[in-house]
Structure 1
Protein backbone atom coordinates (compact mmCIF):
# COMPACT_ATOMS: atom_id res chain seq x y z
CA UNK A 1 0.00 0.00 0.00
CA UNK A 2 2.84 2.34 0.92
CA UNK A 3 4.62 1.58 -2.35
CA UNK A 4 1.45 2.33 -4.31
CA UNK A 5 1.04 5.70 -2.60
CA UNK A 6 4.67 6.59 -3.26
CA UNK A 7 4.36 5.53 -6.89
CA UNK A 8 1.27 7.72 -7.25
CA UNK A 9 3.07 10.72 -5.76
CA UNK A 10 6.01 10.22 -8.12
CA UNK A 11 3.69 10.01 -11.10
CA UNK A 12 1.88 13.20 -10.07
CA UNK A 13 5.22 14.95 -9.63
CA UNK A 14 6.35 13.80 -13.07
CA UNK A 15 3.17 15.09 -14.69
CA UNK A 16 3.47 18.36 -12.79
CA UNK A 17 7.05 18.82 -14.03
CA UNK A 18 6.00 18.07 -17.60
CA UNK A 19 3.22 20.66 -17.44
CA UNK A 20 5.58 23.20 -15.87
CA UNK A 21 8.14 22.65 -18.64
CA UNK A 22 5.45 22.94 -21.31
CA UNK A 23 4.27 26.29 -19.93
CA UNK A 24 7.87 27.50 -19.63
CA UNK A 25 8.55 26.64 -23.27
CA UNK A 26 5.38 28.39 -24.41
CA UNK A 27 6.33 31.53 -22.46
CA UNK A 28 9.83 31.54 -23.92
CA UNK A 29 8.56 31.03 -27.46
CA UNK A 30 6.06 33.87 -27.11
CA UNK A 31 8.70 36.16 -25.61
CA UNK A 32 11.12 35.40 -28.44
CA UNK A 33 8.50 36.26 -31.07
CA UNK A 34 7.77 39.58 -29.36
CA UNK A 35 11.46 40.44 -29.06
CA UNK A 36 12.11 39.57 -32.70
CA UNK A 37 9.53 42.18 -33.63
CA UNK A 38 11.60 44.74 -31.73
CA UNK A 39 15.19 43.90 -32.68
CA UNK A 40 17.32 41.54 -34.80
CA UNK A 41 17.53 37.96 -33.56
CA UNK A 42 21.30 38.12 -33.05
CA UNK A 43 20.88 41.03 -30.60
CA UNK A 44 18.56 39.12 -28.27
CA UNK A 45 20.25 37.82 -25.10
CA UNK A 46 19.20 34.92 -22.87
CA UNK A 47 18.82 37.17 -19.81
CA UNK A 48 16.54 39.50 -21.75
CA UNK A 49 14.52 36.56 -23.05
CA UNK A 50 14.13 35.10 -19.56
CA UNK A 51 13.09 38.46 -18.14
CA UNK A 52 10.51 39.09 -20.86
CA UNK A 53 9.04 35.60 -20.51
CA UNK A 54 8.93 35.76 -16.71
CA UNK A 55 11.02 32.63 -16.19
CA UNK A 56 14.42 32.16 -14.58
CA UNK A 57 17.65 31.46 -16.46
CA UNK A 58 17.68 28.09 -14.69
CA UNK A 59 14.26 27.31 -16.15
CA UNK A 60 15.49 28.40 -19.57
CA UNK A 61 18.48 26.05 -19.51
CA UNK A 62 16.32 23.24 -18.16
CA UNK A 63 14.39 23.37 -21.45
CA UNK A 64 16.82 24.76 -24.04
CA UNK A 65 20.55 25.04 -24.55
CA UNK A 66 20.39 28.27 -26.59
CA UNK A 67 17.91 30.69 -28.17
CA UNK A 68 18.38 28.95 -31.54
CA UNK A 69 16.72 25.88 -30.03
CA UNK A 70 13.57 27.90 -29.40
CA UNK A 71 13.52 29.12 -32.98
CA UNK A 72 13.98 25.58 -34.26
CA UNK A 73 11.07 24.36 -32.14
CA UNK A 74 8.83 27.15 -33.45
CA UNK A 75 9.90 26.29 -36.98
CA UNK A 76 9.21 22.58 -36.53
CA UNK A 77 5.72 23.34 -35.23
CA UNK A 78 4.92 25.60 -38.19
CA UNK A 79 6.41 23.20 -40.73
CA UNK A 80 4.31 20.39 -39.30
CA UNK A 81 1.12 22.47 -39.61
CA UNK A 82 1.88 23.46 -43.19
CA UNK A 83 2.88 19.89 -44.07
CA UNK A 84 -0.73 18.85 -43.51
CA UNK A 85 -1.49 20.76 -46.71
CA UNK A 86 1.33 18.90 -48.48
CA UNK A 87 -0.43 15.60 -47.79
CA UNK A 88 -3.63 16.64 -49.56
CA UNK A 89 -3.97 14.05 -52.31
CA UNK A 90 -5.77 16.52 -54.55
CA UNK A 91 -2.23 17.20 -55.80
CA UNK A 92 -2.53 14.02 -57.85
CA UNK A 93 -5.25 15.48 -60.08
CA UNK A 94 -5.53 19.18 -59.13
CA UNK A 95 -2.15 20.87 -58.72
CA UNK A 96 -3.78 24.31 -58.60
CA UNK A 97 -5.88 23.26 -55.60
CA UNK A 98 -2.83 21.74 -53.92
CA UNK A 99 -0.77 24.92 -54.26
CA UNK A 100 -3.76 27.06 -53.28
CA UNK A 101 -4.08 25.12 -50.01
CA UNK A 102 -0.35 25.47 -49.31
CA UNK A 103 -0.23 29.22 -49.96
CA UNK A 104 -3.37 29.75 -47.88
CA UNK A 105 -1.81 27.90 -44.94
CA UNK A 106 1.43 29.88 -45.22
CA UNK A 107 -0.49 33.17 -45.37
CA UNK A 108 -2.31 32.21 -42.18
CA UNK A 109 1.10 31.71 -40.50
CA UNK A 110 2.73 34.68 -42.25
CA UNK A 111 4.01 36.44 -39.13
CA UNK A 112 6.03 33.56 -37.63
CA UNK A 113 7.30 32.66 -41.11
CA UNK A 114 8.44 36.24 -41.61
CA UNK A 115 10.28 36.20 -38.29
CA UNK A 116 12.04 32.95 -39.20
CA UNK A 117 13.23 34.49 -42.47
CA UNK A 118 14.30 37.62 -40.60
CA UNK A 119 16.46 35.57 -38.22
CA UNK A 120 18.63 34.37 -41.14
CA UNK A 121 18.99 30.97 -39.50
CA UNK A 122 20.63 28.22 -41.58
CA UNK A 123 17.97 25.96 -43.07
CA UNK A 124 19.46 22.83 -41.46
CA UNK A 125 19.27 24.45 -38.02
CA UNK A 126 15.54 25.02 -38.43
CA UNK A 127 14.21 21.94 -40.19
CA UNK A 128 17.13 19.51 -40.18
CA UNK A 129 19.00 18.01 -43.08
CA UNK A 130 17.47 16.35 -46.11
CA UNK A 131 13.99 16.87 -47.47
CA UNK A 132 11.21 18.21 -45.25
CA UNK A 133 8.59 16.74 -47.59
CA UNK A 134 10.19 13.32 -47.30
CA UNK A 135 9.25 13.16 -43.63
CA UNK A 136 5.61 12.89 -44.73
CA UNK A 137 5.93 11.64 -48.31
CA UNK A 138 8.46 8.76 -48.22
CA UNK A 139 10.73 8.39 -51.24
CA UNK A 140 11.62 4.77 -51.95
CA UNK A 141 14.04 5.42 -54.83
CA UNK A 142 16.91 7.87 -55.43
CA UNK A 143 14.90 9.43 -58.27
CA UNK A 144 11.93 10.07 -55.97
CA UNK A 145 14.24 11.51 -53.29
CA UNK A 146 15.83 14.02 -55.64
CA UNK A 147 12.50 14.89 -57.20
CA UNK A 148 11.19 15.84 -53.74
CA UNK A 149 14.32 17.90 -53.06
CA UNK A 150 13.94 19.75 -56.36
CA UNK A 151 10.28 20.52 -55.75
CA UNK A 152 10.89 21.56 -52.16
CA UNK A 153 13.82 23.84 -53.02
CA UNK A 154 11.91 25.62 -55.76
CA UNK A 155 8.75 25.97 -53.69
CA UNK A 156 10.54 27.22 -50.55
CA UNK A 157 12.37 29.88 -52.57
CA UNK A 158 9.08 31.02 -54.11
CA UNK A 159 7.38 31.14 -50.70
CA UNK A 160 10.28 33.06 -49.14
CA UNK A 161 10.33 35.64 -51.93
CA UNK A 162 6.55 36.02 -51.71
CA UNK A 163 6.71 36.60 -47.94
CA UNK A 164 9.61 39.05 -48.17
CA UNK A 165 7.70 40.98 -50.82
CA UNK A 166 4.74 41.43 -48.50
CA UNK A 167 2.53 38.84 -50.25
CA UNK A 168 1.45 41.43 -52.83
CA UNK A 169 0.47 38.74 -55.32
CA UNK A 170 -2.73 36.96 -54.35
CA UNK A 171 -2.91 33.36 -53.18
CA UNK A 172 -4.82 32.59 -56.38
CA UNK A 173 -2.13 34.12 -58.61
CA UNK A 174 0.67 32.30 -56.78
CA UNK A 175 -1.18 28.98 -56.94
CA UNK A 176 -1.74 29.47 -60.67
CA UNK A 177 1.92 30.30 -61.28
CA UNK A 178 3.17 27.28 -59.33
CA UNK A 179 0.63 24.96 -60.92
CA UNK A 180 1.90 26.03 -64.34
CA UNK A 181 5.58 25.64 -63.44
CA UNK A 182 5.61 22.80 -60.89
CA UNK A 183 2.25 21.09 -61.26
CA UNK A 184 3.56 18.18 -63.32
CA UNK A 185 6.03 17.32 -60.53
CA UNK A 186 3.28 17.31 -57.90
CA UNK A 187 1.09 15.06 -60.03
CA UNK A 188 3.99 12.67 -60.70
CA UNK A 189 4.79 12.41 -56.98
CA UNK A 190 1.25 11.58 -55.90
CA UNK A 191 0.65 9.28 -58.86
CA UNK A 192 3.75 7.27 -57.96
CA UNK A 193 2.66 6.99 -54.32
CA UNK A 194 -0.97 5.95 -54.52
CA UNK A 195 -3.37 4.66 -57.17
CA UNK A 196 -6.45 6.78 -57.99
CA UNK A 197 -9.40 6.36 -55.65
CA UNK A 198 -12.69 4.95 -56.92
CA UNK A 199 -14.22 7.32 -59.42
CA UNK A 200 -11.02 9.32 -60.00
CA UNK A 201 -10.38 8.29 -63.56
CA UNK A 202 -8.41 9.97 -66.30
CA UNK A 203 -11.63 11.78 -67.25
CA UNK A 204 -11.87 13.17 -63.71
CA UNK A 205 -8.31 14.37 -63.97
CA UNK A 206 -9.03 16.10 -67.25
CA UNK A 207 -12.02 17.88 -65.73
CA UNK A 208 -9.84 19.17 -62.90
CA UNK A 209 -7.24 20.42 -65.32
CA UNK A 210 -9.94 22.14 -67.35
CA UNK A 211 -11.12 23.92 -64.19
CA UNK A 212 -7.59 25.21 -63.70
CA UNK A 213 -7.43 26.34 -67.32
CA UNK A 214 -10.67 28.28 -66.84
CA UNK A 215 -9.14 30.14 -63.87
CA UNK A 216 -6.44 31.65 -66.06
Structure 2
Protein backbone atom coordinates (compact mmCIF):
# COMPACT_ATOMS: atom_id res chain seq x y z
CA UNK A 1 0.00 0.00 0.00
CA UNK A 2 1.10 3.57 -0.55
CA UNK A 3 2.01 5.80 2.35
CA UNK A 4 -0.48 8.33 3.71
CA UNK A 5 1.68 11.19 2.39
CA UNK A 6 0.95 11.97 -1.23
CA UNK A 7 4.13 10.84 -2.96
CA UNK A 8 3.36 13.00 -5.99
CA UNK A 9 3.67 16.24 -4.04
CA UNK A 10 6.81 18.28 -4.27
CA UNK A 11 8.94 19.47 -1.35
CA UNK A 12 7.58 21.75 1.33
CA UNK A 13 7.68 25.25 -0.08
CA UNK A 14 9.42 27.09 2.75
CA UNK A 15 12.90 28.45 2.54
CA UNK A 16 15.46 26.29 4.39
CA UNK A 17 12.65 24.49 6.23
CA UNK A 18 14.87 21.50 7.12
CA UNK A 19 17.62 23.61 8.71
CA UNK A 20 17.87 23.08 12.47
CA UNK A 21 18.02 26.81 13.20
CA UNK A 22 14.98 27.42 11.03
CA UNK A 23 13.08 24.72 12.93
CA UNK A 24 13.96 26.43 16.22
CA UNK A 25 12.89 29.81 14.85
CA UNK A 26 9.61 28.48 13.44
CA UNK A 27 8.85 26.79 16.78
CA UNK A 28 9.33 30.11 18.61
CA UNK A 29 7.13 31.91 16.10
CA UNK A 30 4.45 29.23 16.40
CA UNK A 31 4.46 29.57 20.21
CA UNK A 32 4.21 33.34 19.84
CA UNK A 33 1.14 33.01 17.64
CA UNK A 34 -0.48 30.70 20.19
CA UNK A 35 0.23 33.18 22.98
CA UNK A 36 -1.14 36.16 21.04
CA UNK A 37 -4.30 34.27 20.05
CA UNK A 38 -5.26 34.28 23.71
CA UNK A 39 -5.94 38.00 23.49
CA UNK A 40 -6.50 38.93 19.83
CA UNK A 41 -7.72 37.68 16.48
CA UNK A 42 -5.29 36.05 14.09
CA UNK A 43 -5.84 38.71 11.42
CA UNK A 44 -4.72 41.35 13.94
CA UNK A 45 -1.39 39.62 14.58
CA UNK A 46 1.49 41.15 12.65
CA UNK A 47 4.92 39.92 11.66
CA UNK A 48 6.63 42.60 13.76
CA UNK A 49 4.66 41.53 16.84
CA UNK A 50 5.28 37.78 16.65
CA UNK A 51 8.93 38.33 15.74
CA UNK A 52 9.47 40.53 18.77
CA UNK A 53 7.73 38.05 21.07
CA UNK A 54 9.78 35.21 19.61
CA UNK A 55 12.98 37.18 20.14
CA UNK A 56 13.98 37.30 16.48
CA UNK A 57 14.35 40.10 13.97
CA UNK A 58 11.93 40.78 11.13
CA UNK A 59 14.75 40.10 8.69
CA UNK A 60 15.04 36.60 10.12
CA UNK A 61 11.32 36.08 9.66
CA UNK A 62 11.43 37.14 6.03
CA UNK A 63 14.39 34.89 5.33
CA UNK A 64 12.10 31.94 6.00
CA UNK A 65 8.49 33.06 5.55
CA UNK A 66 6.38 35.56 3.66
CA UNK A 67 3.29 35.64 5.87
CA UNK A 68 2.27 34.80 9.45
CA UNK A 69 0.05 32.05 8.04
CA UNK A 70 3.15 30.35 6.61
CA UNK A 71 4.29 29.53 10.15
CA UNK A 72 1.09 27.55 10.71
CA UNK A 73 1.43 25.80 7.34
CA UNK A 74 5.00 24.74 8.07
CA UNK A 75 4.04 23.37 11.48
CA UNK A 76 1.21 21.37 9.92
CA UNK A 77 3.53 20.06 7.20
CA UNK A 78 5.92 18.87 9.91
CA UNK A 79 3.09 17.09 11.70
CA UNK A 80 2.03 15.26 8.55
CA UNK A 81 5.62 14.16 8.01
CA UNK A 82 5.66 12.87 11.60
CA UNK A 83 2.36 11.10 10.95
CA UNK A 84 3.82 9.29 7.96
CA UNK A 85 6.83 8.11 9.95
CA UNK A 86 5.22 7.30 13.32
CA UNK A 87 2.18 5.41 12.12
CA UNK A 88 2.76 2.16 10.24
CA UNK A 89 1.59 2.69 6.65
CA UNK A 90 -0.02 -0.75 6.47
CA UNK A 91 -2.23 0.18 9.42
CA UNK A 92 -3.51 3.56 8.34
CA UNK A 93 -2.93 4.49 4.73
CA UNK A 94 -5.95 2.72 3.25
CA UNK A 95 -8.21 4.86 5.49
CA UNK A 96 -10.04 1.69 6.47
CA UNK A 97 -8.60 1.73 9.98
CA UNK A 98 -8.51 5.35 11.12
CA UNK A 99 -7.73 4.71 14.78
CA UNK A 100 -3.93 5.23 14.43
CA UNK A 101 -4.64 8.43 12.46
CA UNK A 102 -6.88 9.82 15.19
CA UNK A 103 -4.52 8.63 17.92
CA UNK A 104 -1.72 10.64 16.31
CA UNK A 105 -3.73 13.86 16.35
CA UNK A 106 -4.87 13.25 19.91
CA UNK A 107 -1.19 13.21 20.88
CA UNK A 108 -0.32 16.14 18.60
CA UNK A 109 -3.37 18.36 18.89
CA UNK A 110 -1.71 21.74 19.46
CA UNK A 111 -1.64 22.71 15.79
CA UNK A 112 -5.31 21.72 15.45
CA UNK A 113 -6.25 23.93 18.39
CA UNK A 114 -4.27 26.86 17.00
CA UNK A 115 -5.83 26.52 13.54
CA UNK A 116 -9.32 26.63 15.04
CA UNK A 117 -8.49 29.59 17.29
CA UNK A 118 -7.05 31.39 14.28
CA UNK A 119 -10.12 30.55 12.18
CA UNK A 120 -7.75 28.87 9.70
CA UNK A 121 -9.12 25.33 9.69
CA UNK A 122 -9.13 25.49 5.89
CA UNK A 123 -5.34 25.06 6.08
CA UNK A 124 -5.88 21.61 7.59
CA UNK A 125 -8.59 20.58 5.17
CA UNK A 126 -6.49 21.62 2.17
CA UNK A 127 -3.47 19.74 3.48
CA UNK A 128 -5.50 16.64 4.31
CA UNK A 129 -7.19 16.63 0.90
CA UNK A 130 -3.80 16.66 -0.81
CA UNK A 131 -2.25 14.04 1.47
CA UNK A 132 -5.26 11.69 1.37
CA UNK A 133 -5.68 11.67 -2.38
CA UNK A 134 -3.50 8.60 -2.89
CA UNK A 135 -5.06 6.46 -0.13
CA UNK A 136 -8.59 7.36 -1.24
CA UNK A 137 -7.78 6.40 -4.83
CA UNK A 138 -6.36 3.14 -3.52
CA UNK A 139 -9.44 2.54 -1.40
CA UNK A 140 -11.77 3.17 -4.34
CA UNK A 141 -9.99 0.46 -6.34
CA UNK A 142 -11.38 -2.14 -3.94
CA UNK A 143 -14.96 -0.85 -4.04
CA UNK A 144 -17.38 -1.55 -6.87
CA UNK A 145 -18.50 1.86 -8.06
CA UNK A 146 -18.76 4.14 -11.06
CA UNK A 147 -15.31 5.85 -11.44
CA UNK A 148 -17.09 8.99 -12.59
CA UNK A 149 -17.99 9.50 -8.93
CA UNK A 150 -14.42 9.33 -7.56
CA UNK A 151 -14.41 13.06 -6.89
CA UNK A 152 -17.55 12.68 -4.77
CA UNK A 153 -15.94 9.82 -2.85
CA UNK A 154 -12.90 11.98 -2.09
CA UNK A 155 -15.07 14.92 -1.02
CA UNK A 156 -17.31 12.82 1.23
CA UNK A 157 -14.54 10.88 2.97
CA UNK A 158 -12.28 13.90 3.40
CA UNK A 159 -15.15 16.02 4.67
CA UNK A 160 -16.26 13.47 7.25
CA UNK A 161 -12.74 12.87 8.58
CA UNK A 162 -11.68 16.52 8.79
CA UNK A 163 -15.03 17.61 10.24
CA UNK A 164 -14.79 14.89 12.89
CA UNK A 165 -11.40 16.23 14.00
CA UNK A 166 -12.68 19.80 13.97
CA UNK A 167 -15.70 18.89 16.09
CA UNK A 168 -13.51 16.87 18.45
CA UNK A 169 -11.36 19.94 19.15
CA UNK A 170 -14.40 22.19 19.50
CA UNK A 171 -15.94 19.77 22.04
CA UNK A 172 -12.86 19.88 24.23
CA UNK A 173 -11.03 16.82 22.86
CA UNK A 174 -12.88 14.40 25.13
CA UNK A 175 -13.29 11.35 22.91
CA UNK A 176 -10.75 8.58 22.39
CA UNK A 177 -9.46 7.48 19.00
CA UNK A 178 -11.79 4.47 19.15
CA UNK A 179 -14.79 6.70 19.83
CA UNK A 180 -13.84 8.98 16.93
CA UNK A 181 -13.80 5.95 14.65
CA UNK A 182 -17.27 5.08 15.89
CA UNK A 183 -18.39 8.60 14.98
CA UNK A 184 -17.07 8.03 11.45
CA UNK A 185 -18.97 4.74 11.16
CA UNK A 186 -22.25 6.08 12.57
CA UNK A 187 -23.60 8.04 9.56
CA UNK A 188 -22.82 5.14 7.21
CA UNK A 189 -24.64 2.72 9.51
CA UNK A 190 -27.63 5.04 9.72
CA UNK A 191 -27.70 5.44 5.95
CA UNK A 192 -27.33 1.72 5.22
CA UNK A 193 -30.13 0.92 7.68
CA UNK A 194 -32.62 3.48 6.38
CA UNK A 195 -31.76 3.90 2.70
CA UNK A 196 -34.28 2.38 0.26
CA UNK A 197 -31.42 1.92 -2.19
CA UNK A 198 -29.35 -0.08 0.27
CA UNK A 199 -32.39 -2.10 1.31
CA UNK A 200 -32.86 -3.35 -2.25
CA UNK A 201 -29.29 -4.62 -2.47
* Structure-2-length-normalised TM-score: 0.64
- Is the Cα contact below 8 Å between 1:33 and 1:115 reproduced in 2? yes
State the 1:139 CA deviation. Answer: 2.9
Deviations 1:150-206 (A, max 9, x none): 2011111111111101123343322223234459xxxxxxxxxxxxxxxxxxxxxxx
Gaps of at least 5 residues in structure 1 are 1-14, 184-216
- Is the Cα contact below 8 Å between 2:47 and 2:58 reproduced in 1? yes
Report the Cα distance in structure 1 between the residues aligned to 2:26 and 2:155, rounded to whole angstroms.
32
Match of 2:73 in 1: 72
Report the Cα distance in structure 1 between the residues aligned to 2:74 and 2:99, rounded to whole angstroms.
26
Report the Cα distance in structure 1 between the residues aligned to 2:177 and 2:122, rounded to whole angstroms.
24
Match of 1:25 in 2: 26
Query: Which protein has the bigger helix share?
Result: 1
Report the Cα distance in structure 2 between the residues aligned to 1:171 and 1:138, rounded to whole angstroms.
20
Structure 2 residue aligned with 1:154, among 156, 160, 183?
160
* Structure-1-length-normalised TM-score: 0.60
Match of 1:139 in 2: 137
In the TM superposition, 1:193-212 aligns within 5 A as none
How many pairs were matched up?
163
Match of 2:112 in 1: 113
User: CA distance change for structure 1 residues 139 and 173 in 2, over 3 Å: closer, same or farther?
Assistant: closer
- Is the Cα contact below 8 Å between 1:75 and 1:116 reproduced in 2? no
User: CA distance change for structure 1 residues 71 and 54 in 2, over 3 Å: closer, same or farther?
Assistant: same
Match of 2:103 in 1: 104
Gaps of at least 5 residues in structure 2 are 1-15, 139-146, 190-201
In the TM superposition, 1:163-174 aligns within 5 A as 163-174=169-180
Match of 1:36 in 2: 37
User: CA distance change for structure 1 residues 139 and 180 in 2, over 3 Å: closer, same or farther?
Assistant: same
Instruction: Note if 1:51 corresponds to 2:30.
Output: no
- Is the Cα contact below 8 Å between 1:86 and 1:102 reproduced in 2? no
State the 1:73 CA deviation. Answer: 1.2
Match of 1:198 in 2: none
Report the Cα distance in structure 2 between the residues aligned to 1:65 and 1:72, rounded to whole angstroms.
12
Structure 1 residue aligned with 2:184, among 174, 178, 183?
178
